[in-house]
Structure 1
Amino acid sequence: MGLIIISNREPYAPKRGEDGELRWVPSIGGLTAALDPALQHAGGTWIAWGEELPEISEVDLPQDAPRYRLKRLRLSEAEVRDFYYGFSNRALWPMSHYFIGRTKYQTATWRAYVNVNRRFAKAAVESYREGDLIWVHDYQLALVPRMIREALPHARIGFFWHIPWPSAEVFRTLPWDRELLDGLLGADLIGMHTQDYVRYFQIACERVLGAETEGDTVRWQDHISRMVARPIGIEVETFEELATSPEVEEEADRIRRTLQTQILLGVDRLDYTKGIPERLEAFDAFLDRHPEARGRVTLLQIAVPSRERVESYRQLRAQVEGLVGRINGKHTRDGWSPVQYIYRGVSREELVAHYRAADVMLVTPLRDGLNLVAKEFAASSRDGVLILSRFAGAADEMPEALQVNPYNVDGLAGTLLEALQMPLDEKKARLQRLRERLKQSDLHAWAEGFIQELAAT
């Protein structure tokens, strides 16, 4: 029995060294870390969009000891524009995160979405061997399960939706709500991060399709799909080991020596769902309310560039940078600037050093499917406090965090003071309980558990 993984993003990216030699480097992210070992163990195929060097259609991976094949689909510029930046990220992404005002529901981009999904499904059918398990990932490829099912009626197909599933009222604003649900219900096993998302999905199936739901199942067109809530984990031991390595500890000490204040840390993709402007406004309100904190507390915000071709993301960058400038202009004194703003990607080592240096971690999205940053901080921190939005999927798993409503600027400002003044023994006790829970459902357990459930369908 082999395994076929289908995702928009590929697990390895081609990079040329200074000597000109082409190397395939693992992509950073939970999906690669979880599924690459599983696919190496089972053998099979990973199908993804070949964004860089698209002329290379297939490669055996890992490069030095191949265990599976990567099939890379070449998308035209028009397909990238309409399928990825258009329908996936201007329709499904904002709709799923409750930003209806930002959606662009356009027939042309929907058609591109259908066509690209069909290409992914065709590649899977061509790669399939009797007995293989097929696991499709995320909102960019929601139609693929049904398309595969039509060609392979007896295949075992799984799907995981990695972003929030919205309430039925919000989902039904999508003009192609029936088509999307029908596409997903081609799968035997559908995974989401929380039980709320599962319940919202079943309600949508009832209201939009008239499908039958019972327990954890949906019956549609004589096929039963089972729903499971399976929050993705992280590599807990990897983060713990990295956090205590001499290199990371040294970098964390350097960060603390440079700032010489208590450190509030934010680490986010620059995305309108992450609540960065609201976080900055709350810090501004905190400094207004507690002038004694000036010169003693610094907000260090790392913003990783994201989807810069989309206008709303460029507008967000200008808004965030304007807020940083206003707050610094208002509160700076005696060589201290309240906000340190870093706009670039960071390596895992640098990221963990910042986790290690921080006194308080701010994970305050307006809506998030899960949020792995919260989990990474809990695994890496020595004695920090996690402030977590109640609208992050991870909130259900992390009751020891100080949970907040990111829309309540004054409430968030008050929680900052609580976090900064929390006694050391309480901070360590909260972190210990968080870590114990993270270890019970780490990244590899998530992947192996889903694959076992799919095999048993």
Structure 2
Amino acid sequence: MRVTTRLVLAIWITALAVVAGFAYLQVSDERQRLRQELERRASLLGEGLQDGVEAALSRNSRPALERLLKRFGRPGQRLAVYDKTASLVALAPESFVPRPETASDVTAALTSGSVQQVFRQMSGRTFYVYVMPVPREEKPLGAVAVVLDASYLAEAEQAVWRENGIRFLVLGAILSLIALLVVRMSITGPMAKITRWTKAVRRGQHLEPMKLGDPSLFGPITREVSVLARSLQRARAAAEEEAALRLKGETLWTEERLKQFVKLRLGEAPLFVVSNREPVSHVWKDGRIVARRPASGLVTAMEPVMRACGGVWTAQASGDADRETTDARGHLGVPADDPRYQVRRVWLSKEEEDGYYYGFANEGLWPLCHIVHTRPQFRPADWAQYRAVNERFAEAVLEEIQHTESPLVLIQDYHFALLPALIKAQRPDARTAIFWHIPWPNFEAFSICPWQEDLLRGMLGADLIGFHTQYYCNNFLETVERVVEARIDRENFSVNRGSHTTSVKPFPISVAPTFVDDPPKTSREELLAELGISAEFVGVGVERLDYTKGIPERFLAIGRLFERFPEYRERLVFVQLAAPSRSTIRRYQELEAEVETTVQMVNRAFQTRRWRPIVYLKGHHEHRDIWPFYRHADFCMVTSLHDGMNLVAKEFISVRDDEDGALILSQFAGASSELRDALLVNPYDIDGVADAIRAAVAMPPEERRARMARMRQTVREHNIYRWAGLLLNDLSRIPEEGTATLTATTPGRASDEEAA
């Protein structure tokens, strides 16, 4: 039997049961109501006759009784008077012939002295008989019998059943029709859509994510089918890409190649990553939990690696709903719809976070390593919290790796300089690397830190230390040489302390080839309309609000452009996406105020009724939100005052598959050493940056596309999978005891062939 037939049959049976039940209750209520009405009428008649009947019976006056009954007689009601011997004395109408049973009812009333009520069949009809004794001095003088036609009670009950029968038929028909429509629209229709969509995916067609009408009904199956389809598409795309690369003889690193490499090097062992920033946080918004991806270059770089390799990512919990989304041990599968790795969250108290993160890490080490003329603040209390938090993270990592033989631990950034030595002390077999995502200053600058030796000894517990550039490696080796008792091997770029060797190498970090798996279809016109602007040229900047990013200087350069080249007024708009960061630190609060003041100053100086030069969008922006700005901007500005690498530049390039758009890049960003086709600028040179903006919008299309094509080739070849592959290759080749020294094919760099 088909599902639809079973559903309709069930509806009819249910409707029948419901209607029959309610009809039965309705009939019972109606019967009771009508009987009460009969009793009330009979009682009123009896009481109305009682006094007159008593007087007539006392006088033994039959004519008086007949006149009385005649006066009270009505159609449909019969009246009779009996004496104390239950003999009939008078009746009305005269045609009324009481049944013999009535005499017995009268006798019962006279004997008991109480009213008698009963239904009787007379001449094929139902009558209600009401007999009331007529008392006198506590003895019955006689009785009055009221007989009312009750046949309409059955007719009323039949009418109720008939009406409910019609109601049942109409209700069943309507419900069946609605059920058929609902089944077609909500079940068979979507199922057919899922079937067609799945067949199309199986044939290799690239489709938009499946969207069905009722997420509560088909949400789970839609998500699972979509995840399965995405996995199939990724696998097919990876296979096609690998096949194409083999045909071309290229050795490009892809997600699939990294997976195979990790499987070859690590087997089934997971990769363990540690960072302060978690790859996804959960916050309460409008009464529900929302997942957010933080504005972080580290997360942008490492998240694709973890998706490819799998493993455990230990990080500080930062969202106010993080506890609600993890298990008892603080674990969470990521991504939620298709878990590829685990996040282990570590919760810190406000005191710990203030001292370790906001204090020592970001008021001390951050300005120390960036040459932006912000004085570092080093406080003993902050240092104590920094050490304590590093020890807490060491405990968490040791717990995660306890069942893994010779685990690979990849520590991220300046928040955990002490962590390598702490892990090595407990697990000498762990192969440990730390990647420093920010610049490493020269010895004179780093010597400002009162605990420089402790930091260096902690870092040298690692088997491998990675920086973005060779220049930072050289600075680090010089610092170690002048602070720590160790032997520096400059030929192999390593540090030997006792029996332990630490390799120091450059690994320029990058981005995944695809910035967003499923980019929005927003057109340039739609984007500008959404912003409420109209412009011939659009520039974009995407940063955290940080004093190293040179945002005020950038806005001043835009103002200088309109001052020197007024022909671009009302033709060019610059859009700045800025994510608030570290807002509890005074220097960042001052920066926010400075940025907003500079925006207002430039806009007031040049804006018109229909146009303003700078659109400032402060807030958190997901990658899907950022993608249209990258895709439709005529130029992107990355004017950092000092930056380890800066992945915004590479993100912009990765999105521009149209091979259009210009990149204005600070010469003080690590990315400038790779992206030589960008318009390199000194961000402190306001006129020079203004000239670069003019050059970007005036550049001939052929030159612009040629530059972008070369930069895209660089980013494509030097992607995040290559970065991870080379780093993990070097780390995996380190013996468990960490006593051997890696030999580099070029200074500080393993080759792609070795990693392969």
- Which category describes the TM-score, using the shorter chain as reference length? over 0.9
Matching of residues 30-429 of structure 1 within 5 Å = 31-32=298-299, 35-36=302-303, 38-39=305-306, 44-52=311-319, 53=321, 55=323, 56=326, 57-62=329-334, 63=336, 68-99=341-372, 101-128=374-401, 129-214=404-489, 215=491, 216-239=493-516, 246-247=521-522, 251-252=526-527, 254=529, 258-381=533-656, 382=658, 383-429=660-706
Distance 1:30 1:276 in 2: 17
The answer to whether the 8 Å contact 2:677/2:707 transfers is yes
SS in 2 for 1:246: coil
Farther off after superposition, 96-105 or 356-365: 96-105
Instruction: Provide the aligned C-alpha RMSD in A.
Output: 2.4
Alpha-carbon offset, residue 127 of structure 1: 2.2
1:298-349 CA-to-partner distances (Å, cap 9, x unmatched) read: 2222221111111111111111111111111111224221111111122212
2:33 match:
none
SS in 2 for 1:236: coil
Distance 1:78 1:121 in 2: 19
Distance 1:101 1:16 in 2: 35
SS in 2 for 1:51: coil
1:242-291 CA-to-partner distances (Å, cap 9, x unmatched) read: 56x53356644646983223122222111100001111111122211112
Distance 1:388 1:80 in 2: 33
Q: Which residue type is aligned with residue 541 of structure 2? A: G
The answer to whether the 8 Å contact 2:281/2:293 transfers is yes
Q: Which residue type is aligned with residue 80 of structure 1? A: E
The alpha-carbon distance between structure 1 residues 35 and 415, as it changes in their structure 2 partners (threshold 3 A), is closer
The alpha-carbon distance between structure 1 residues 28 and 390, as it changes in their structure 2 partners (threshold 3 A), is closer
The alpha-carbon distance between structure 1 residues 10 and 101, as it changes in their structure 2 partners (threshold 3 A), is closer
1:41-61 CA-to-partner distances (Å, cap 9, x unmatched) read: 655432211223465542242
Distance 1:134 1:123 in 2: 12
Farther off after superposition, 411-420 or 208-217: 208-217
SS in 2 for 1:235: coil
Q: Which residue type is aligned with residue 726 of structure 2? A: G
Q: Which residue type is aligned with residue 406 of structure 1? A: P
Distance 1:390 1:235 in 2: 23
The alpha-carbon distance between structure 1 residues 26 and 278, as it changes in their structure 2 partners (threshold 3 A), is closer
Q: Which residue type is aligned with residue 353 of structure 2? A: V
1:447 match:
724
Alpha-carbon offset, residue 451 of structure 1: 1.8
The alpha-carbon distance between structure 1 residues 43 and 260, as it changes in their structure 2 partners (threshold 3 A), is closer
Alpha-carbon offset, residue 415 of structure 1: 1.7
Distance 1:415 1:65 in 2: 44
Distance 1:400 1:261 in 2: 24
The answer to whether the 8 Å contact 2:305/2:720 transfers is no
SS in 2 for 1:225: strand
Alpha-carbon offset, residue 233 of structure 1: 1.4
1:11 match:
279
The alpha-carbon distance between structure 1 residues 61 and 54, as it changes in their structure 2 partners (threshold 3 A), is closer
The alpha-carbon distance between structure 1 residues 4 and 397, as it changes in their structure 2 partners (threshold 3 A), is same
Q: Which residue type is aligned with residue 448 of structure 1? A: G
SS in 2 for 1:102: coil
The answer to whether the 8 Å contact 1:266/1:301 transfers is yes
2:51 match:
none
SS in 2 for 1:295: coil
The answer to whether the 8 Å contact 1:387/1:404 transfers is yes
1:399-455 CA-to-partner distances (Å, cap 9, x unmatched) read: 000101001112112222211211000000000000111111212222233222211
The alpha-carbon distance between structure 1 residues 254 and 206, as it changes in their structure 2 partners (threshold 3 A), is same
Distance 1:149 1:311 in 2: 37
Distance 1:425 1:344 in 2: 36
Which structure has the larger Rg over C-alpha atoms? 2
Alpha-carbon offset, residue 37 of structure 1: 5.7
The alpha-carbon distance between structure 1 residues 301 and 66, as it changes in their structure 2 partners (threshold 3 A), is closer
Distance 1:67 1:262 in 2: 41
Alpha-carbon offset, residue 38 of structure 1: 4.9
Alpha-carbon offset, residue 10 of structure 1: 2.0
The alpha-carbon distance between structure 1 residues 189 and 299, as it changes in their structure 2 partners (threshold 3 A), is same
Q: Normalising by the residue count of structure 1, what TM-score does the alignment of the two structures yield?
A: 0.92
The alpha-carbon distance between structure 1 residues 42 and 304, as it changes in their structure 2 partners (threshold 3 A), is closer
Report 1 or 2 for greater relative contact order, CA contacts < 8 Å, sequence distance ≥ 6: 1
The answer to whether the 8 Å contact 1:248/1:349 transfers is no
Alpha-carbon offset, residue 102 of structure 1: 2.9
SS in 2 for 1:258: coil
The answer to whether the 8 Å contact 1:54/1:73 transfers is no
The answer to whether the 8 Å contact 1:54/1:74 transfers is no
2:711 to 431, 434, 444: 434
Distance 1:88 1:209 in 2: 22
Ranges in structure 1 where 5+ consecutive residues have no aligned partner: none
Q: Which residue type is aligned with residue 279 of structure 2? A: P
Distance 1:42 1:268 in 2: 28
Distance 1:283 1:401 in 2: 18
SS in 2 for 1:85: helix
Distance 1:432 1:82 in 2: 46
Ranges in structure 2 where 5+ consecutive residues have no aligned partner: 1-268, 735-756
The alpha-carbon distance between structure 1 residues 355 and 11, as it changes in their structure 2 partners (threshold 3 A), is closer
The alpha-carbon distance between structure 1 residues 238 and 272, as it changes in their structure 2 partners (threshold 3 A), is closer
The alpha-carbon distance between structure 1 residues 12 and 291, as it changes in their structure 2 partners (threshold 3 A), is closer
Identical-pair percentage: 37
Alpha-carbon offset, residue 107 of structure 1: 0.7
The answer to whether the 8 Å contact 1:134/1:157 transfers is yes
Farther off after superposition, 352-361 or 136-145: 352-361
The answer to whether the 8 Å contact 1:251/1:353 transfers is no
Distance 1:416 1:37 in 2: 33
Q: Which residue type is aligned with residue 584 of structure 2? A: R
Farther off after superposition, 421-430 or 258-267: 258-267
The alpha-carbon distance between structure 1 residues 157 and 425, as it changes in their structure 2 partners (threshold 3 A), is same
